[in-house]
Amino acid sequence: MKIAYISSSTIPSRTANSIHVMKICQAFAKSGHEVFLLTQDRKDELEKNVSDVYAYYGVDNCFEFMKIPCRNIRIAKFIYGFLAARKAKGIKPDIVFSRDITGALFAAKFGLPVIFEFHMSVAENSGRIPEQLFRLLIKSSGLQKMVVITHALKEYYVNRYPQLKGIIQVAPDAADPIPEHVQPAFLANKGKRLQVGYTGHLYKGRGIEIIFELAKACRWADFHLVGGTEKDICYWKEKLEQQANVIFHGFVPPSEAVTLRMAFDSVIAPYQQKIAITGSGGDTARWMSPLKIFEYMAAAKPIIASDMPALREVLTHNRNALLCSSDNVHEWQSSLETLRDDAELRNKLGNAAYSDFLNHYTWEKRAINLLENCKLHERLYKYQKLN
């Protein structure tokens, strides 16, 4: 099958959505499909000094990467969606997969069958114009399927847009198995003190305050923070006042971050009740499916995470993770002490998480599930015969 993937991400960048796009495109390609990834060419937002985009994300060069020029003007997203859809039409794909509303809408209007994926509420997080475009998209006969990442988000959409019932699919995020040749990073106090890891952004709602409180209460552990902008790191370092058992690693490319995850004794995800989107407005707490959770599972590490409905779709307390009230530092401290003192429990939780990951949450399995029972629209065949 020939797949045109229209992304709304800037690639390469530090965003989780760009990792998602590169990983799922690799998974489609490794499943035997011909994949063309279309992205915005916004030079002001690109991660600098990246000579090999594929190596940066730790993916194989097995799909074509195509950039669409995108000027920094007010209607740039609209223009990009049109140009990306037009480019996709020229590719003559069997299916267009899109995480861009405008690109999905134009592709459908051009007579192409579309699978549209979205990870949040269009109405609550995207604004009035995107919702209007979304309403046009779901009225289009070109829309074959909509993909969301949690059952909570599916319920939201079906209740608000009843016409989606029957064509909306839940597909949580995923991770790749760690290759056997990859070795854990060196940590100076490994074996002497518990090494606790956190990967991801440092902005509002990620629970960084909880980590700092934990670090004060658990002087017997080292806390590693992997990720964050230079500005955020400076801000938190000032607030922390040079606490010795908190180590800021800064941003680490996705292809290298895996070595740190492998080195940790435990990993944490202290999400709060409201979580900003890429450091800005909006909120994803009700229906998030964080990449880091699946990356933690792939590393077979014992996870301590916030007890939230969206996370409980994947994590079960005392089976593949320990779950704590998001803002109760004493619960987090007690859970960490339990893991420190019980190596058998650490192994049990890590192994259960890894087993769940292999059975349900690899990118390969996600790619297969997304394209399963995907019927191509009749207009595609008519279009191909005419062209």
**DSSP secondary structure letters along 357-377:** HHHH-BHHHHHHHHHTT-PPP
> Do residues 249 and 173 touch, judged by C-beta distance below 8 A?
no
The pLDDT value recorded for residue 123 is 77
The pLDDT value recorded for residue 72 is 65
- How is residue 201 annotated by DSSP? -
> Do residues 28 and 5 touch, judged by C-beta distance below 8 A?
yes
- Give per-10-residue mean pLDDT for the chain (387 aa): 94 92 97 96 85 96 92 77 96 96 96 95 77 94 95 95 95 96 94 96 84 94 94 86 88 93 97 64 72 97 96 97 95 98 97 98 96 56 39
The pLDDT value recorded for residue 379 is 39
The pLDDT value recorded for residue 273 is 78
SS3 221: strand
- For the chain, domains (ranges, CATH) are 2-174+364-386 (3.40.50.2000), 194-360 (3.40.50.2000)
SS3 297: helix
- How is residue 33 annotated by DSSP? -
What token pair was written down for 190?
A: 């490994």
The pLDDT value recorded for residue 277 is 55
> Do residues 374 and 144 touch, judged by C-beta distance below 8 A?
yes
The pLDDT value recorded for residue 122 is 86
Q: What is the pTM of this model?
A: 0.91
Any alpha helices (H) in the chain, and if so which ranges? Answer: 16-30, 53-57, 76-91, 101-109, 122-125, 128-139, 151-160, 208-217, 230-240, 254-263, 291-298, 309-312, 329-341, 343-360, 363-371, 378-386
The pLDDT value recorded for residue 240 is 79
The residues, any chain, with a CB within 8 Å of residue 362's CB and separated by 6 or more, are: 27, 174, 175, 176, 177
